[in-house]
Amino acid sequence: MSKVLLICVLILCCSLSLADDYYCVKRVVDGDTIVLNNGEKIRLIGVDTPETVHPKKLVEFFGKEASAFTKRMCEGKRVRLEYDWQKTDKYGRTLAYVYLEDGTFVNAEIVKQGYGYAYARFPFKHLEKFRQYEKVAREKEVGLWAKDSLPEELR
């Protein structure tokens, strides 16, 4: 009986410690920013998606599609965060790599599927991979790189 109790306690402790590593996404602000249930704003590292909610800019080409993609991927789901050399940006948002429970690397998927650019303005540990992901997305003409998604004046 005591062995069963000990095993149950160990399982409970392990699951609690694992649960602490995950956060629920309350909402998606735009294609590269999410809000967790605790109210923390997360800016995805290495990704720049077209603007949809910038107070001084109009909605940019493919912005709504990028926001919808991130919303489908993240909203209401549990995510794990990883950090790089800088923890916050000048707006106070937490900078993070975001992973779904199944291991999907959200930041990378946004670039791979053509919903955003590799944001190379600042160094980050996956910079070269992200540049390659964007290059492949452009070559395959996916997402914002698809010829049929471009407005007539940009073709």
Rounded Cα distance between 107 and 28, Å, is 13
Q: Annotated catalytic, 43?
A: yes
Catalytic residue check, 93: yes
Round to whole Å and give the CA distance between 35 and 102. Answer: 20
Tokens of 80: 């794990």
CA–CA distance, 147 with 155 (Å, rounded to integer): 7
CA quadruple 133, 30, 58, 63: dihedral sign: positive
Are 116 and 98 a contacting pair, CB within 8 Å?
A: no
CA–CA separation, 123 and 4 (whole Å): 50
Q: How far apart are CA 22 and CA 9, in angstroms?
A: 21
Q: Which one of the listed residues 78, 80, 93, 131 is annotated catalytic?
A: 93
> Which of these is catalytic: 43, 65, 109, 134?
43
Report, as residue numbers or ranges, the catalytic residues: 43, 51, 93
